[in-house]
Amino acid sequence: DGFLRLFKTAWESESPVPLYGDGDNYIPTLHIEDLANRVIALHKQRPQQQYMLACDQSPCTLRSITQAIADAFCTEVETIPKSELFLQTGLE
């Protein structure tokens, strides 16, 4: 559900796509199926060492992801102050 609202807004041509805050926060983009497959593999053949499973080194910020979605749907990004997030209605 993390990106669902962004895609839905862009898909429905509700321009612009909202970006709450400055968008400089890094967002992990590890796919859940990849993580689940790795956990299953490790469960089947337990390694002797301990591993950190959910490590994402991609430099994706909320702003870059939001901009990529907006670009793909030929729309714009509107930066909205975080304080207005709590004033929005209809957020799921």
Tell me the pLDDT of the chain averaged across its residues. Answer: 83
pLDDT of residue 43: 84
pLDDT number for residue 42: 83
Q: Is 27 within 8 Å of 62 (Cβ atoms)?
A: yes
- The whole-model pTM stands at 0.66
Residue 92 has pLDDT above 60, yes or no: no
Residue 91 has pLDDT above 60, yes or no: no
Task: Answer yes or no: are the C-beta atoms of 85 and 23 closer than 8 Å.
Answer: no
The distance in angstroms from the start CA to the end CA of the chain is 9
pLDDT tens digits, 32-84: 788 888 888 888 988 788 766 666 677 899 999 999 999 999 999 999 998 88
Residue 85 has pLDDT above 80, yes or no: no
